[in-house]
Amino acid sequence: MKRLTLLALLFCGSMALCAQDAPVTKTSYKDWVKQAPRYEDAFFTTSEAARIADNVLLYQQTTGGWPKNIRMQEVLSDEDKAKVALLKDRVNDSTIDNNATITEIQYLARMYNATGDERYKQAVIDGIQYIFNAQYPNGGWPQFWPRNKGYYTHITYNDNAMVNVMEVLRDIYEGDAPYTFLPDSIKQVAHESFNKGVDCILATQIVKDGKLTVWCAQHDAKTLEPAKARAYELPSYSGQESDDVVLLLMSIPNPSPQVIASVEGAINWFNENKVVGLKKEFFTDEFGRKDYRMVPCEDCDPLWARFYDLETTRPFFSDRDGVKRYDISEIGHERRNGYSWYNNHGLKVLKRYDKWKKEWEIDK
């Protein structure tokens, strides 16, 4: 069963607000975060765009941020709208997880560009201010803010939460569309915030035997050490989340010696921890469920595991009991198929690295 936000739980029974109860013809929150950035500019002059924008404004909380997993494109009844309006002060639901807040900021910025409606501009500024307020003094961002306990307070690379925020900040301070209307004062703070984020990335990179490696999916906000999140998300080297962190570092122009060293250390780790000679083989199990197993292969692309043991650098997997296992067949069907345990994203990192070295004339 998928985890729900408290906001969604409050509205179960309302088809417009509970994605998991919606018929297959209804859209999901994933459709929102995927589709919203893809709308053509002309769409934002339509009545449908304005209707969705009204939903986005309605869901914005007094923090300036938004809750996650909301289907902003759904048609809400007056009763639904009244219920949502009552939750504006439920500030613990504001988050950058699952592309929340950044998707809404971008959408409303495009609405302002198309219409000149000052409501959208102010909501964008409030959303950006939420990002500024949520950033720790050390430069990291928690998954949810404000919260004062739980894994939600960790510096969060999981699902690219922090990287996504930093990419938006860079668009803002560089004056890229759709943020061209923002004042220089906000652009300046965005630049400072981005740089602090880079400092946090460098500070949280795991050092093993004196060598820089990669990152955990989340780090303790105070100690900066790798930290546990959900039961199956144990402290580890993360072959899943570290790839986009490295890509972000390689996108920084005129990289400093510290950034260069960080990238080099991560690239060495990716090269040393490839999973070779394995691929997924899908099958239907005895209960008629789709499943997969890892089988030997020749001439197949390398993979990287999501989690690697911090002591042995051995790939591991966990079920909801939080026990490390070293073969994916040893965890249950639900977690094996409900989570991404292997990926090949390291290939794009290695490919980009070769261009990065040439671009900045970096000798290894």
Kindly list the catalytic residues.
Answer: 98, 230
Classify each residue of 7-44 as buried b or exposed e, where b means 16 or more C-beta atoms within 10 Å of its C-beta: bbebbeebebbbbeeeeeeeebbeebbeebeeeeeeeb
CA distance 155 to 135: 9
CA distance 328 to 333: 10
Q: Are 106 and 178 in contact (CB under 8 A)?
A: yes
Indicate if the alpha-carbon torsion angle 267, 273, 277, 283 is positive or negative: negative
CA distance 194 to 216: 20
